[in-house]
Amino acid sequence: NLCQGWKGSAGKCLKCSVCHNNARTKDGSIEGSSFAEEVPLPPCLKETDIERQCLESYEASSTTLRMEKDRCEELRARRSKAEDAVNNCQHKLQSSSSRLEHESLGELQRAEDSVASSQERLEAEKQHERSSEVHMEAECHDYNVASGRVAHIDFIKNAEWLRCQ
């Protein structure tokens, strides 16, 4: 509190000094006077100068560390590029998988429809063949009896047709 009301001047480093009586008065009060003292400093450097000096000192004393930092940055860039490539590949794979699954389901459905249609045609052909066998046996019965031949269903089924002449 002895330096109250005291202001320094701009651009100088000052300290407040006080001469006092160490409270040796009869009533124990402190009496004293304050004055400013200039603290001498070396020539003042600006922030950019200080930063430049620090960087130069750092660069000169840590070339190995700098080389390691450069190597790490190069590895980080390669890793990032590889991760991007993997992500791109995974995206394409997922997209292709979904597309193939969709297309495969369509092809499977068409194949199942084709099989069902073929089975229906086969069944119709078998029915027509059975009907033709019965009709042929009836048509050729009199001829076969008159000629001494007897038509057997096994011959008919093995495509050894007896023909009426």
Check residue 75 and give its pLDDT. Answer: 96
Segments of the chain scoring below 70 in pLDDT: 1-11, 144-145, 148-165
State residue 108's pLDDT score: 83
| pLDDT cut 90: percent of the chain above it | 18
pLDDT value of residue 154: 47
Angle at the Cα of 116 from the Cα atoms of 113 and 120, rounded to 5 degrees: 135
pLDDT at residue 160, as a whole number: 45
3-state class of 156 per DSSP?
helix
Of 27, 30, 29, 35, residue with least CA distance to 6? 35
Place of tokens 């001494």: 148
pLDDT of residue 162: 46
Place of tokens 């006092």: 20
State the DSSP H helix or E strand holding residue 66, giving kind and residue range, or none if neither. Answer: helix 63-147
Residue 79, pLDDT score: 96
